[in-house]
Structure 1
Amino acid sequence: MGLTETRTPPSIEPLSLSEIVENGLCIGCGLCRSIAGAGDVEMVMTPEGRERPVAMQALDKPTLAKINAVCPGTRIAGPSPAQMDEAALTNTVWGRVERLVLGSAADPTVRFIGSGGGTLTALGQFLLSSGRVKFVLHVAASRSMPMRTERQLSFDPASVLEGAGSRYGPAATLVDFNDILDRGEPFALIAKPCDITAVRNLARLDPRVDEYMRYALAFVCGGASDLTKSEQVLQRFGLSEDELALFRYRGHGNPGLNRIETGDGRAFEISYRQLWEDEDKWMIQPRCKICPDAIGQVADIAVSDAWLNGGPAVEDEALNGIIVRTKRGLELFDAAVEAGALEIKRETGIAEIGELQSHQVRKRRAVWARLRGMEIAGKPVPFVTDLSLRNCALQNSLAENLAEGRGARDRARRGRLGEPPAVPRKAILKDGRP
């Protein structure tokens, strides 16, 4: 296998929605529905617990071509050099960085309620209170089905705080993104790195993105789990989804407890470690296993957990790794610190953030070989540019790359990196019957 950074650009014939989904490339962001329109594409919750697009009728070739051009499962590009400062630090694995610190929200309530140190929540609140944006696009727990996640527009700091805390299930953040652009108002996006990739892709086709989306903020992502992961937690306590009044994955501490409350007043809790103790049951979506940018290189600021002991204790100090990536992000970060919205614990560096997020380093080094293995198996892979995958792979031994490539090839041939066709799931009753 010769090391190359990118593969041949996508063929003239675009992939259909079903091909994107069934080859494990979809992450369920919903941007394809926004492009095609609600009458042509609908998002469904599948039996596997994933939000996936379904074409309600055959999509014309121009629509499919546009979807293929923006989908974060078919095209993944690194950051534009125009966003960077010439003095930025550059690292093969971590990309370009303007500044790297350990810090948190200054407000103790935001620190407590938010995930890690509440940095993203504090930034969203600051953007609104300072008048830099009219609203923030992010996700929050569904009010009617609190185990599920839905996109939210927040127009004031209190609303941003309502959406604080990590959400580990599927989320179609961009399901009506065209309508959001139609508002013609400046806004900020807080989302997964793949969501931001999708929007950056769209910016090449729609100038309104760069005109109105003033800031893109990401969390460093460990992967999006299926809703069935959360349903397993309910099964532990003999609960059904229709009994829920609250399903909080974490927060109210660092990392905080996974807390469940029912409509009749019962409450149940498990620790963060209990939630994720069995890696075989993480139920991470297939697209996440080949993600070349879970560290948010295309964001203005990316925020990570920062457990100084290598993992969460019972409760840790409220703290985030804050990776400032662009000139715009640096100006925002400095202003937020000056205004008292964020506080810095200390400066950090690539070596420490690599230790705190060692699994992200391993994934970045593995992705090139995984994609090559999928290609050898005859499967479509994303067209990836400007993310140094080749150089990341060169940090591995030949044996390590061969093992990753062969493993991905074999899993792809067995269908383990793909998905079944997207169909709506049936309601699940308390006893587990449909």
Structure 2
Amino acid sequence: MSGASGKPALRLGIAGLGTVGVGVLQLLRDNAAAITARAGRPIEVVAVSARDRTRDRGVDLAGLRWHDDAAALAGDDGIDVVLELIGGAEGTARTLVESALSRGRDVVTANKALLALHGAHLARIARESGAALLFEASVAGGIPAIKLVREGLAADRLLRVGGILNGTCNYILTTMRDTGRDFDDVLSEAQALGYAEADPSTDVDGWDAAHKLAILAGLAFGQPVAFDGLHVDGIRAIQACDQHFARELGYRIKLLGTARRTGDDAIEAWMRPCFVPKNAPIAHVDGVFNAVVTEGAFSGPMLIEGRGAGAGPTASAVVADVIDLARGTALPVWGVAPKAEIACAPRSALGGEYYLRVIVRDRPGVVADIAAALRDAGVSLRALSQHDAAREPGGTVPLALVTHHTTEAAMISVISALEALESVVGTPLLLKIETV
């Protein structure tokens, strides 16, 4: 089939017919005229693969070739571009992408785990075969984060990239702040509303957002990040009292990711809940919204915000990549000629100001013991607050401590000393204070 331009249609094979795959089909059909005009040629889906042929997905699949084995799409010579919308860093998704790229077949994927863990390997395959690998939908849904970093800021030297990269965690933290409820209660609500999965660990333990951060960092600094060195903390340990202390001290709690250039071939990168000043722009990114932050030597700081997930935004990002391929636009996977993976600085090398929450038995001498642990680690205290409303029947009470600038190594030492105290209950919570 050819369009008015006389160019043949770009033929797509879709692996995965979940919400995003179905969304791509609907978007291509509903906006066919506009997409053809922008792409300069028709774009059509000719083949699909999913686990269940009989399931009603609310979209007409008549006339499309069906592959029971998604990996077979890579060898279908009637396909120009493979859309991998299965997910997961291993198994069928990885096999399909590797096989398609090896055959010189272009790939569009929304798979952040695959890119974060195997991006360097896939980039080598793409370079050797001449195939394109595009992945706009892998980070922040409909926010054009990849295009911003790889194309819009291509002339600049990026110093920092990151942001709020998981809508589930942002919804939970926002609701905890606004209602005073505990983590478990709000998580159950998020699951009932469809904002969190039945097994929420990938989201609430920080891994989903960390995968996205690794991709952004690789693009920002022109080389893939060694993911196993990226420090990752989730939000399970956040309690209602922490939201109380944040409000009292002039902060909000956000699951924040940052990758920062510290030298020509050195970065620090982490994903963790942080205190951010309540007047910072990112502090007001609430609910299921995401935000991507960049800072360039010439462009300065920038923040873009939008819905980070869902069928519509993610499908839009997938099709944007397809349009680029139809136009003949293809870039190196990491925006520049490939380099070796870049390692992240160890956690002990990080520094800044910190919030430390300690649950203690309310008895004389407790504060003196805590002060001694700080003194022995060389940590200077800026503020201390007690939340009497959170006093437990057993006589425990949460204390909040805010430090002056120090090293994370020193704070790790403080926590170790506090855990050894009989008057301290459980593990103290350490949050970085980050001015974004």
The normalised TM-score by structure 2 is: 0.26
Q: Of the two structures, which has the highest relative contact order with CA contacts closer than 8 Å and spacing of 6 or more? A: 1
Structure whose residues are more often strand by fraction: 2
Q: Which has the larger radius of gyration?
A: 2
